[in-house]
């Protein structure tokens, strides 16, 4: 994928109140105030037959009416192949209906209850739910049993796991008791804990499904989360100044293919967030009135990567 700074024609600029994403194959980039978002999703191909109908991975990016708040979500329905696609699509619709829930904890609990009904107790989904607030550059997120996001700081070039032990992370301890952070659809009363980190221009956050952290080499050895982080560091080490954000997903897939030396056995999705240093645009009075109407539920725009 080309770098967003040199291939603007390939970058989709999200409109106010637009929900962009799906559960099907994707290899695209989107732009919102403060962030460039790169998405690559490849549904599992059974017996080598290319799967264009979709799989169990769900991804979406949405932009609020003011343009200052961006919601990013990545979910992985248990299982793979086209037989979980209907359930993944239902989860995507539930996400769309909840797009204006500002608090990540409330959103996770809402989706947990919805998925419990959708899966009828027979399926679960892991998920990362995140909100980026452009005026302060904070990324606020909840992890529902999903592989932890990975953070690359621009000033050090170092990759690290993004969780409550990461330097600079703020932890919401208001729901510190009870069962927490389980996958969606496991236990209806699960609580979820919010984490937040301030991003600097040039920082990257990688969201991914477990097809990457659980990749097997030809001898059956799993790369694991630590091995995946090591791979990312090696990718950057091959380039003196680190790999550009727009080229990173391609580089990861190339390295993963070399590690596996065989097709993956699960749906694969990566969502890369790159802080581009831009600020929210100023709005006219007419635009503000239009946005207020949309926020009140008069209308949203739902799109899929083309």
Q: What's the CATH code of the domain at 137?
A: 3.60.40.10
pLDDT, averaged in runs of 10, over the chain (306 residues): 44 82 88 93 73 76 78 83 68 69 74 72 81 88 91 94 92 65 68 88 96 92 94 89 88 94 88 90 63 47 57
- Per the structure, the count of domains in the chain is 1
User: Rounded distance, CA 31 to CA 136, Å?
Assistant: 18
Has residue 2 been placed in a domain? no
Whole-number pLDDT of residue 6: 37
Give the residue numbers spanning the domain of 269: 8-301
Has residue 1 been placed in a domain? no
Q: If residue 41 lies in a helix (H) or strand (E), which one and from where to where? A: strand 35-42
Instruction: Give all strands (DSSP E) within 64-184, no chain letters.
Output: 69-77, 125-133, 138-144, 150-152, 159-161, 170-171
Has residue 237 been placed in a domain? yes
CA–CA distances in Å: residue 5 to residues 8, 10, 200, 274, 276: 6, 10, 18, 12, 9
Has residue 306 been placed in a domain? no
User: What is the reported pTM?
Assistant: 0.82
CA–CA distances in Å: residue 91 to residues 79, 126, 155, 207, 212: 14, 11, 37, 18, 22
Has residue 3 been placed in a domain? no
Has residue 147 been placed in a domain? yes
Token pair belonging to 304 = 């899929």
Q: If residue 294 lies in a helix (H) or strand (E), which one and from where to where? A: helix 285-295
CA–CA distances in Å: residue 258 to residues 41, 192, 227, 262: 19, 37, 14, 8
Has residue 283 been placed in a domain? yes
């Amino acid at each position: 994928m080309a770098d967003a700074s040199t291939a603007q024609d390939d970058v989709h600029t999200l409109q106010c109140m637009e929900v962009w994403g799906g559960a099907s194959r994707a290899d695209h980039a989107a732009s919102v105030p403060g962030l460039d978002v790169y998405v690559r999703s490849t549904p599992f191909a059974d017996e080598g037959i290319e799967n264009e109908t979709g799989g169990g991975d769900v991804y979406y990016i949405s932009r609020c009416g003011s343009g200052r708040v961006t919601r990013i979500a990545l979910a992985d329905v248990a299982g793979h192949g086209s037989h979980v696609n209907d359930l993944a699509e239902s989860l995507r619709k539930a996400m769309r209906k909840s797009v204006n829930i500002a608090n990540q904890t409330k959103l996770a609990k809402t989706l947990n209850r919805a998925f419990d009904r959708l899966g009828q107790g027979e399926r679960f989904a892991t998920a990362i739910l995140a909100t980026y607030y452009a005026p302060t550059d904070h990324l606020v997120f909840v992890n529902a049993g999903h592989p932890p996001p990975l953070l690359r700081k621009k000033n050090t070039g170092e990759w690290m796991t993004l969780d409550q032990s990461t330097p600079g992370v703020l932890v919401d301890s208001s729901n510190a008791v009870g069962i927490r952070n389980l996958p969606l659809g496991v236990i209806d009363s699960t609580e979820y804990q919010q984490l937040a980190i301030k991003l600097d221009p040039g920082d990257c956050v990688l969201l991914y499904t477990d097809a990457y952290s659980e990749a097997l080499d030809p001898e059956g050895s799993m790369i694991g989360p630590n091995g995946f982080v090591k791979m990312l560091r090696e990718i950057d080490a091959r380039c003196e100044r680190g790999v550009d954000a727009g080229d990173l997903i391609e580089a990861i897939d190339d390295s993963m293919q070399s590690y596996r030396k065989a097709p993956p056995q699960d749906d694969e999705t990566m969502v890369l967030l790159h802080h581009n240093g831009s600020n929210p645009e100023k709005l006219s009075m007419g635009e503000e009135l239009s946005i207020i109407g949309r926020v009140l539920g008069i209308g949203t725009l739902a799109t899929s990567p083309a």
